[in-house]
Structure 1
Amino acid sequence: MLDDHRRGTIYIEDLEIGMVRSLEKVVTDRDIALFAEISTDHNPVHLDETYAKDTIFHGRIAHGMLTAALISAVIGEQLPGHGTVYLGQSMKFLAPVRPGDTVKAVVKVAGIDLARRRVTLETHCAVGNTVVLKGDALVMAPSRKLD
C-alpha cells in the first residue's frame, strides 16, 4: 500500500482498492484562532483555557471540524487529488485534539464505481495511537476521459 505525501491527481482509472494517502500536521494555537475566525465558532472551549479547564475536556481543544478539514486536504490534494468533488462525509469524533497535538489524517480507497466516477474512502485522524475521528467519504474522482 502506498502511503506518501505526493500532491496532484490520481485519475479514477488509476485508483485501486487499498490505496492510502496521509498527512501530518501540528495543530497550533494560531490554527485554532484562525479557524474560530473563519468559521465564526468562538466557543470558549477552544479559545479560553480558564473556561475549558472546567469542562469534560479539562483544557482547550481544537474544533472538531478543524481536524476534519485535514481529511479534506488529503482528498483534495492527494487521493484522488486535484479535480475531486466532495459528495458526502460521515464522521464520528472519538477523542479531543489539543493545541500542540500532531494529527495524522489518513484516507484509504474502499470502493470504486468507475461508471459513475464515485469513490468511497475510509477516513480517520489519529493523535499517536489514539483515533480521534473516523468516518467515510464519497467523492467524484477526476477522469482522464474528461480531460
Structure 2
Amino acid sequence: MSNECKKFTGAELKIGMTAERSKTITKKDIEYFGIVSTDTNPMHFDEDYASKTQFGRCIAHGVISLSLCGSVLGMELPGLGTIHMGQEVTFKKPVYPGDTITAHCEIIDIQYKEKKDFYIVKVKQWVTNQNGDVVTEGIATCMPPKA
C-alpha cells in the first residue's frame, strides 16, 4: 500500500479514471477497528462463538473493506483534500483475517455546481479478495478539492 498522496481537482478529473489500493487484513486490524468503532460483536473476536455461525470463523467488520475505498478517495482519486459526502454500499461476502483485499475505484459521473463553484463526483467502488471475489461494492459521492 502506497502512502503517496495524489491530488486531482474537479476540473482535472475524467470519467473512467481508476485507482486501487490493497491491504492484508490482520486480526490486529480487526481489533483496532473494534476499539475505535466500539463494535465488539463476538463475530469479530470470539472464535468459539463465530465457529457456530454460518461463517464458521471470525470475520472482519464489513466497514473495514469500505474504509479501504475511503483511502483511495482521500489519498489517490480524487486524492488529497477530497471530502466524502455520501455512500451506497452492499457487503456481499465476508472478509477473514489474513485475506488480502483490493479496493477499486472508478469515476463514473462528474457534475459542476456553477452557483457554488465546486464539483460533485460519483465513484463506483468494489473490493475484491485474493481470489477475485467481490466482497463489497458501492457508489460514493465526494467533493474533490478546488485547487
TM score, norm. by length of structure 2: 0.92
User: Is the Cα contact below 8 Å between 1:123 and 1:137 reproduced in 2?
Assistant: yes
Cα distance in 2 for partners of 1:110, 1:27 equals 28
Q: How many residues align?
A: 141
Q: CA deviation at 1:35?
A: 0.4
Q: CA deviation at 1:6?
A: 5.1
Q: Secondary structure, in 3 states, of the residue corresponding to 2:58?
A: coil
Which letter does structure 2 place at the counterpart of 1:140? M
Cα distance in 1 for partners of 2:65, 2:38 equals 16
User: Is the Cα contact below 8 Å between 1:76 and 1:83 reproduced in 2?
Assistant: yes
Which residue number in structure 2 is paired with residue 107 of structure 1?
105
| Aligned equivalent of 1:36, options 34, 37, 49 | 34
Task: After superposition, give the CA deviation of every residue in 1:27-66 in whole Å (9 maximum; x if it has no partner).
Answer: 0010000000111100011001111010111111000011
Q: Map of 1:91-130 to 2, 5 A cutoff?
A: 91-115=89-113, 116-127=118-129, 128-130=131-133
Q: Secondary structure, in 3 states, of the residue corresponding to 1:117?
A: strand
| Identity value in percent | 36
Unaligned runs of 5+ in 1: none
When structure 1 is superposed on structure 2, of 4-13 and 107-116 the one drifting more is: 4-13
2:88 pairs with 1:85: no
User: Is the Cα contact below 8 Å between 1:5 and 1:23 reproduced in 2?
Assistant: no
Q: Indicate the RMSD between aligned Cα atoms, in angstroms.
A: 1.4
Cα distance in 1 for partners of 2:138, 2:62 equals 13
**CA gap 1:29/1:58 in 2 versus in 1, 3 angstroms:** same
